[in-house]
């Protein structure tokens, strides 16, 4: 009986070994298939992850390029504007300098005025100077300078008007004083009024000219 049990046990062992040998290729095949599936899944996941990373990288790259392009465009505009402003300021400076140089030439006629000239003669000289100023080409000058020049010319015109009100000789002064006293009730014959108006008009000419010089200096022109 012991020998029969031993025989059965040995047969079982042999059958088990045979069965294992038979099953080993099948098991290996299953393992290989499982490994391939695992590798395929991992490869798919890696590919998906790589695609996501690549997409993010492209998105970031496009963003950087867009920012760079915008910055370059803004920098180009910023460089262009100062250049245009510099060109305009140069034109203004040259135009103002030309006007101021011409004014120096025109003022030479004013140097001919002397104490021997009558008020009407002085008024005529200044009036010609004023007309010459109005003929100057100021098209390329800045608006601020044009306004200052207009104020100066208007002050000159007003000064000419006050000069023309003054008597040219003693006889005319007596006659004017008589009628001013008679019709205006001015005890001094209007002398105080005429003198005051004359001083105010002359002061206006001085202040407007100084303002014109200040404006010219703001654009780099000092004469």
Task: Look over the chain and give the mean of its residue pLDDT values, rounded to a whole number.
Answer: 74
pLDDT in tens, 24-57: 555 555 555 555 554 555 545 445 545 554 455 5
The CA distance from 179 to 173, in Å, is 10
Spell out the residues 6+ positions from residue 129 whose beta carbon is closer than 8 angstroms to its own: 106, 107, 109, 110, 156
Spell out the residues 6+ positions from residue 213 whose beta carbon is closer than 8 angstroms to its own: 222, 223
pLDDT in tens, 128-176: 999 999 999 999 999 999 999 999 999 999 999 999 988 776 656 655 6
The CA distance from 205 to 200, in Å, is 9
The CA distance from 119 to 62, in Å, is 81
């Amino acid at each position: 009986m012991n020998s029969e049990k031993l025989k059965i046990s040995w047969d079982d062992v042999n059958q088990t070994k045979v069965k294992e040998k038979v099953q080993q290729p099948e098991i290996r095949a299953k393992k290989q298939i499982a490994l391939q599936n695992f590798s395929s899944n991992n490869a798919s996941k890696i590919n998906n992850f790589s695609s996501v990373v690549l997409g993010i990288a492209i998105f970031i790259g496009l963003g950087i390029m867009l920012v760079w392009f915008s910055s370059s465009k803004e920098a180009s505009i910023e460089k262009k504007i100062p250049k245009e402003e510099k060109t305009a300021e140069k034109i203004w400076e040259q135009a103002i300098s030309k006007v101021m140089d011409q004014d120096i030439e025109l003022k030479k006629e004013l140097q001919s005025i002397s104490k021997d000239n009558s008020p009407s003669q002085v008024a005529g000289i200044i009036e010609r100077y004023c007309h010459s100023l109005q003929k100057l080409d100021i098209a390329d000058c800045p608006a601020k300078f044009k306004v200052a020049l207009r104020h100066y010319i208007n002050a000159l015109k007003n000064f000419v008007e006050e000069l023309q009100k003054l008597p040219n000789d003693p006889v005319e002064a007596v006659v004017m004083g008589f009628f001013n006293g008679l019709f205006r009730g001015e005890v001094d014959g209007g002398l105080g009024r005429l003198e005051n108006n004359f001083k105010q008009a002359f002061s206006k000419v001085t202040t407007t000219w100084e303002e014109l010089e200040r404006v010219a200096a703001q654009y780099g022109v000092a004469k």
